[in-house]
């Protein structure tokens, strides 16, 4: 069985509800292919699925350090940033999401997660502004679209009063 076949098997195990088995296989693959960024990424993802967020971090970081690319890079940036946030590492999460938004401006999910970090950092206005703009710009809901201009206008004026 090739490395790619073993990697696919591990992914299948994780997806079918057997993350512990996937973890074992991925750890074996890491010993065989210590410079394979995809294996590091899948290890990180598997740890996250198992609720082992703290253990997932070095796997995400190594995958990115090894030059993970494409959709896997996008997933690793989101996974690592989200994991940083859940561990209370808000500044690291904010930095990572800012980097991801620069790299992938079309990926709106990074902005949603960045808004969560803003909330955690008590930057409530900034977080709400991000979410309101995303809502107005991406929603297909007719009611949202009917009030899109107003939502965008008020997005950065939530604390203003017009007495």
Tens of pLDDT, residues 45-88: 999 999 999 999 999 999 999 999 999 999 999 999 999 999 99
Q: How far apart are CA 58 and CA 134, in angstroms?
A: 31
Q: What is the mean pLDDT of residues 89-103?
A: 98
Q: Hey, where are the domains in the chain?
A: 3-124
The Cα 154–Cα 157 span in angstroms is: 5
In tens, the pLDDT along 106-136 reads 999 999 999 999 999 999 999 999 999 999 9
> Which pLDDT does position 1 carry in this prediction?
82
C-alpha to C-alpha distance for 153 and 124, rounded to whole angstroms: 17
pTM greater than 0.85 (yes/no): yes
Identify the residue whose tokens are 């904010």: 94
What average pLDDT does the chain have?
96
Domain 3-124 top-level CATH class: mainly alpha
pLDDT bracket for residue 162 (50, 70, 90): confident
């Amino acid at each position: 069985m090739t490395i790619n076949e073993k990697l696919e098997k591990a992914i299948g195990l994780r997806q079918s509800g057997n993350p512990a088995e996937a973890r074992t296989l991925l750890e074996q693959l890491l010993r065989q292919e210590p410079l394979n960024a995809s294996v590091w990424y899948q290890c990180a993802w598997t740890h996250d699925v198992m609720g082992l967020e703290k253990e997932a971090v070095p796997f995400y970081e190594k995958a990115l350090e090894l030059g993970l690319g494409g959709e896997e890079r996008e997933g690793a940036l989101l996974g690592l940033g989200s994991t940083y946030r859940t561990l209370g590492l808000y500044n690291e999460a904010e930095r990572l999401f800012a980097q991801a938004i620069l790299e992938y401006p079309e990926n709106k999910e990074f902005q949603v997660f960045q808004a969560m970090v803003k909330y955690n950092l008590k930057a409530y206005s900034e977080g709400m502004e991000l979410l309101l703009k995303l809502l107005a710009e991406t929603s297909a809901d007719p009611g949202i679209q009917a009030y899109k201009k107003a939502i965008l206008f008020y997005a950065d004026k939530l604390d203003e009063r017009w007495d």
